[in-house]
């Protein structure tokens, strides 16, 4: 499994695998065809309030990260994370796409760390939660 993080404005590549937009807002000036998405997970993105707060407090990346992880415990975000865990389990490669200019400080990196097990997932999510969801759906 390989998970890459890249700007949605970059040209799609054959080795992107499944292309997943993880922004709440559609990227300005980009057509659906140019984005070449497999999935758009709006609810995996930070809330509008958190996004606006971070834009006003760029120096507070660590605090943003903690607040974002806390937001991921909400029902809609948890459901989006489960879809993402399932996709990562099914596909050998996944590209998490975002529109922000700052390539180093983006929530997509936090999502990648969750998917790769480098960060502890919010309660009820993660590979075990995704497997449980698949088992329930099969019944």
3-state SS, the chain, equals CEEEEEECCCCCCHHHCEEEECCCCCCCCCCHHHHCCCEECHHHCCCHHHHHHHHHCCCCHHHHHHHHHHHCCCHHHHHHHHHHHHHHHHCCEEEEEECCCCCCCCHHHHHHHHHCCCCCCCCCCCHHHHHHHHHHHHC
Please give the pLDDT value at position 118: 61
Say what the pLDDT of residue 134 is: 46
User: Structure pTM?
Assistant: 0.83
**What pLDDT, on a 0 to 100 scale, did the predictor assign at position 136?**
47
- Domain positions in the chain are 2-138
What tens-digit pLDDT sequence spans the chain (139 residues)? Answer: 799 999 999 999 999 999 999 999 999 999 999 999 999 999 999 999 999 999 999 899 999 999 999 999 999 999 999 999 999 999 999 999 999 999 999 999 999 999 988 666 565 555 555 455 445 445 5
pLDDT score at 117: 86
């Amino acid at each position: 499994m390989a998970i890459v993080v890249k700007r949605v404005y970059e040209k799609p590549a054959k080795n992107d695998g499944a292309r997943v937009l993880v922004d709440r807002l559609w990227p300005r000036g980009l057509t659906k065809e140019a984005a070449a998405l497999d999935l758009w997970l709006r609810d995996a993105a930070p809330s509008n309030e958190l996004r606006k707060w971070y834009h006003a407090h760029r120096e507070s990346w660590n605090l943003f990260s903690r607040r974002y992880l806390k937001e991921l415990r909400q029902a809609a975000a948890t459901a989006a994370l489960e879809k993402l865990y399932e996709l990562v389990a099914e596909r050998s490669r996944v590209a998490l796409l975002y529109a922000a200019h700052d390539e180093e400080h983006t929530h997509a990196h936090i999502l990648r760390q969750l998917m790769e097990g480098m960060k502890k997932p919010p309660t009820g999510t993660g590979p075990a939660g995704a497997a449980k969801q698949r088992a329930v759906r099969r019944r």
